[in-house]
């Protein structure tokens, strides 16, 4: 694990903001690439004064949005059949697509916000949004908002906790659970308001 951390730190340090952007773009698209191993080291490097904290967050969000837009336009222009047919080469199964579609159908447009805070869901929630031809400005807004919250949390963790792996795991586990509870609560409020209106 320490070797991986050192490699990511070196990569982010060498490539700078462009590296953060590219790795977060990959994380947000088809390629399974955990954002934790990008933004936490970025926060640590910001703590050391090697990069700017706010610029790291900005390029993290920009990369996340760009990756989500790739998925959105792939789904919009090629449709679900093509995605399912060739998705297996990128570790994407039809069962995953069905789960994302069910999540999107159940929660509506706001799922592109809440989904960004849920592991695994955040990589693929853009696909049903593209298939469903969700309003693009609204998609960008919700995606950036959800991605922004996650990126800020991870970067802040890296900034204050540094390379203490055990402490990071402890806090990250707690934060993920808290986010899931908050997302669930937010969705319930949204559904309640939708039914009421």
Task: Give 140-185 pLDDT, tens digit per residue.
Answer: 999 999 899 989 988 998 888 766 666 666 666 676 566 666 666 6
Cα(188)–Cα(132) distance, rounded to whole angstroms? 22
C-alpha torsion angle, residues 183, 188, 190, 196 (rounded to 10)? -170
What is the 3-class SS of the chain, one letter each residue? CHHHHHHHHHHHHHHHHHHHHHHHHHHHCCCCCCCHHHHHHHHHHHHCCCCCHHHHHHHHHHHHHHHHHHHHHHHHHHHHHHHHHHHHHHCCCHHHHHHHHHHHHHHHHHHHHHHHHCCCHHHHCHHHHHHCCCCHHHHHHHHHHHHHHHHHHHHHHHHHHCCCHHHHHHHHHHHHHHHHHHHHHHHHHHHHHHHHC
Cα(6)–Cα(32) distance, rounded to whole angstroms? 20
Give the residue, 191 or 156, on which the prediction is more confident: 156
Tokens (6 digits) for 126: 């853009």
Task: Give 23-55 pLDDT, tens digit per residue.
Answer: 888 888 766 667 777 888 888 888 888 889 999
Where b means 16+ CB within 10 Å and e means fewer, 40-63 reads bbbbbbbbeeebebeebbbbbbbb
Q: Is the dihedral of CA 38, 91, 79, 146 positive or negative?
A: negative
Task: Give 114-137 pLDDT, tens digit per residue.
Answer: 778 777 677 777 888 888 788 899
**23: closest CA among 3, 40, 6, 46?**
40
Contact call for residues 112 and 124 (beta carbons, < 8 A): no
**According to the model, what pLDDT value does residue 1 have?**
44
């Amino acid at each position: 694990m320490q070797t991986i951390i050192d490699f990511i730190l070196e990569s982010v340090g060498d490539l700078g903001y462009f590296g953060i952007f590219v790795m977060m773009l990959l994380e947000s698209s088809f390629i399974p690439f955990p954002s934790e191993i990008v933004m936490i080291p970025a926060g640590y490097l910001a703590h050391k004064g090697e990069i700017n904290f706010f610029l790291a967050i900005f390029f993290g969000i920009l990369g996340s949005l760009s990756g989500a837009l790739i998925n959105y336009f792939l789904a919009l222009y090629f449709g679900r059949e093509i995605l399912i047919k060739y998705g297996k080469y990128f570790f994407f199964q039809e069962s995953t697509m069905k789960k994302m579609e069910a999540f999107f159908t159940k929660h509506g447009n706001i799922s592109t916000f809440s989904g960004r805070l849920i592991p695994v869901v955040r990589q693929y929630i853009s696909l049903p949004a593209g298939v469903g031809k969700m309003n693009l400005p609204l998609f960008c807004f919700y995606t950036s908002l959800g991605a922004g919250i996650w990126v800020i949390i991870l970067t802040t963790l890296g900034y204050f906790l540094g390379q203490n792996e055990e402490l990071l795991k402890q806090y990250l586990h707690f934060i993920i659970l808290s986010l899931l509870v908050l997302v669930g609560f937010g969705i319930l409020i949204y559904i309640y308001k939708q039914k009421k209106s």
